[in-house]
C-alpha cells in the first residue's frame, strides 16, 4: 500500500498519537526538565495531530461540535482581554491558546482514527502511573528515609504534593473505570496493585483539595455508576476512612492553608473590574497579613479566571464545563460516559482549592483542567459518527 493512501496515513498517525498520549500523561512522572517534557509533547502529540487535521477530513469535521465552538470562543475572549491588561499586549505569550487547541485536536484525532485505542492508551497510562506511584513512595520513604508523617512527593517534575496528587488522582480514575480496556492478563493483580499505589499516594500526599475531590466523587458516584463501580467506591471509602482514623492528626495539619483569606482578597480584587477582569496576562498580588507574604493567584481556578478574564470569561469557562457534564451525564450508561462524569466531578472540586489558571504550558494542572474536556470532545466525535 502506498504511504499516502488514507489507510496508511491513518495507521501511522494512530501509532504516533498513541505514543504521544503516553508521553503527555506520564512524562512528568519520569522526565527531569519541563523543557524536555514539552518538546516531547510537541513532537509526539501535537505534530501528528496537526498532520491528521491537514490530511484527514474526519479530524477537521470533529471540530464541528458545540464544545469545539465554546473552546474557541473562550480562547478568543481571553486573547481579546489582553488588550486591556495591566501589562499590555504580549502577542508572543498568546501562543498558549494554540497549545491548548493543538492538544484538543490531538485527542480528537486519535478518537477519529481509532476510538477504542484512545481508551486502551488511557487505561495503560493509568496502570503504568500506578507502578510509578509505588516507585515514588518507595524512593521517598524507603531510599529517602522520610517518616510516614512527611507529605509524599513524586519523582522529577511532580515534586509538589498537591499537583502530583491531582495528576495521580486523575490516573487513578482512568484506571478504575477503564479496567475492561486492559489486556486480560493485566485486569487482576496488576490492576489492583496499580490502583492501590495511586490511592496510597493520594492518601500520603496529605493534600486536602484532592482528598475533598475524591470524597465528592465517592459520594456522587452512585448517581451515574454501575453496581461494580459502587462496590469499588465503597472499598476505596473504607480504606480512606481507616487511614484517617489511624492518623487523625493529619486532618488538623496546616489548617485551611489561608484559602479563606485568599478567596476574600480575590473577591475584593474582582470588584475592581467584575465584568471584564484585569485582562489576560495581568499579574496581581493577594497579601496575607498573618503570614507576612503575598500570593500570586487565588489558589482557586474559578476565582483566578474571574479576576483576570472577568465574569464574562468565567461564564465561558463554566459553559464549557457544564456542556461537557451534560453530555457525560447523557452517556452514563456506557463506561466512557461514567468516566467523564467522574473526571469532571474530581476536577471541578480539586480546582476549587488549587489552580493557577487555564492558560499555562503543559503541566500537572492540565490533567484536571483540560483532559476531561478534551476527552468529552473526543467522546462527542464518536457520537457524531454513530449519527452519521
Residues in CB range of 231: below 8 A, 6 or more apart: none
The reply to whether 361 falls in a domain is yes
> Is residue 275 over pLDDT 70?
yes
Percentage of residues in the chain with pLDDT exceeding 90? 55
User: Among candidates 254, 341, 250, which has minimal Cα distance to 299?
Assistant: 254
pLDDT at 306: 93
Answer yes or no: is 82 within a domain: yes
Average pLDDT over residues 283-301: 75
Give pLDDT, residue 387.
47
Residue 1 domain flag: no
The most confident of the ranges 224-228, 235-239, 273-277 is 273-277
Rounded to 5 degrees, φ, ψ at 295 are -110, 150
28-32, 120-124, 211-215, 372-376: which range is least confident on average?
211-215
Indicate the pLDDT class of residue 3, thresholds 50, 70 and 90: very low
Does residue 287 belong to any structural domain of this protein?
yes
Contacts of 69 (CB under 8 A, 6+ apart): none
Give domain status of residue 334, yes or no: yes
Q: Give the mean pLDDT of 264-286.
A: 86
Distance CA(23)–CA(155), nearest Å, equals 15
**pLDDT for 320-348, tens place per residue?**
999 999 999 999 999 999 999 999 999 99
Mean pLDDT of 143-150: 84
| Average pLDDT score over the chain | 86
The predicted pLDDT at position 2 comes to 42
Using CB atoms within 10 A of its CB, is residue 242 exposed (0-12), middle (13-18) or buried (19+)?
exposed
Per-residue pLDDT at 291: 64
Q: Which residues contact 167 (CB under 8 A, 6 or more apart)?
A: 28, 29, 154, 158, 364, 367
Whether 253 shows a pLDDT value over 60: the answer reads no
d(CA 320, CA 328): 12
Half-sphere exposure at residue 75, Cβ-oriented, CA atoms within 13 angstroms: 19
What residues make up the domain containing 61?
6-387
Number of domains in the chain: 1
Q: Is residue 105 part of a domain?
A: yes
Segments of 31-122 assigned E as strands: none
Q: What is the pTM of this model?
A: 0.91
**Which of these ranges, 240-244, 277-281, 327-331, 375-379, has the smallest mean pLDDT?**
240-244
β-bridge mates for residue 293, sequence order: 288
Amino acid at each position: 500500500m502506498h504511504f499516502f493512501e488514507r489507510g496508511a496515513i491513518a495507521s501511522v498517525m494512530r501509532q504516533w498519537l498513541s505514543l504521544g498520549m503516553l508521553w503527555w500523561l506520564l512524562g512528568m512522572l519520569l522526565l527531569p526538565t519541563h523543557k524536555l517534557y514539552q518538546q516531547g509533547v510537541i513532537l509526539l502529540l501535537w505534530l501528528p495531530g496537526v498532520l491528521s487535521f491537514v490530511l484527514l477530513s474526519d479530524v477537521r469535521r470533529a471540530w464541528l461540535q458545540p464544545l469545539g465552538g465554546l473552546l474557541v470562543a473562550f480562547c478568543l475572549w481571553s486573547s481579546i482581554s489582553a488588550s486591556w491588561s495591566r501589562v499590555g499586549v504580549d502577542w508572543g505569550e498568546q501562543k498558549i491558546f494554540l497549545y491548548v487547541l493543538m492538544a484538543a485536536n490531538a485527542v480528537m484525532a486519535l478518537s477519529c482514527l481509532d476510538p477504542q485505542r484512545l481508551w486502551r492508551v488511557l487505561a495503560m497510562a493509568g496502570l503504568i502511573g500506578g507502578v510509578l506511584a509505588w516507585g515514588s513512595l518507595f524512593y521517598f520513604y524507603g531510599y529517602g528515609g522520610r517518616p510516614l508523617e512527611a507529605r509524599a512527593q513524586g519523582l522529577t517534575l511532580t515534586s509538589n504534593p498537591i499537583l502530583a496528587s491531582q495528576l495521580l488522582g486523575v490516573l487513578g480514575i482512568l484506571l478504575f473505570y477503564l479496567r475492561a480496556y486492559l489486556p486480560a492478563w493485566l485486569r487482576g493483580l496488576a490492576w489492583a496493585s496499580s490502583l492501590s499505589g495511586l490511592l496510597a499516594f493520594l492518601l500520603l500526599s496529605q493534600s486536602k483539595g484532592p482528598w475533598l475531590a475524591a470524597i465528592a466523587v465517592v459520594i456522587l458516584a452512585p448517581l451515574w455508576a454501575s453496581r461494580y463501580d459502587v462496590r469499588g467506591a465503597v472499598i476505596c471509602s473504607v480504606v480512606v476512612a481507616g487511614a484517617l482514623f489511624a492518623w487523625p492528626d493529619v486532618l488538623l495539619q496546616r489548617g485551611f492553608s489561608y484559602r479563606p483569606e485568599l478567596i476574600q482578597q480575590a473577591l475584593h480584587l474582582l470588584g475592581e473590574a467584575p465584568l471584564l477582569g484585569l485582562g489576560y496576562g495581568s499579574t496581581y498580588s493577594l497579601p496575607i497579613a498573618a503570614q507576612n507574604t503575598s500570593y500570586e493567584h487565588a489558589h482557586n481556578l474559578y476565582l483566578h479566571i474571574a479576576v483576570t478574564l472577568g465574569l464574562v470569561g468565567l461564564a465561558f469557562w463554566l459553559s464549557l464545563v457544564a456542556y461537557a457534564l451534560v453530555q457525560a451525564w447523557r452517556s452514563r450508561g456506557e463506561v466512557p460516559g461514567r468516566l467523564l462524569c467522574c473526571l469532571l466531578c474530581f476536577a471541578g472540586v480539586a480546582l476549587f482549592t488549587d489552580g493557577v489558571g487555564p492558560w499555562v504550558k503543559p503541566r500537572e494542572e492540565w490533567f484536571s483542567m483540560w483532559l476531561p474536556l478534551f476527552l468529552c470532545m473526543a467522546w462527542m466525535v464518536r457520537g457524531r459518527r454513530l449519527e452519521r
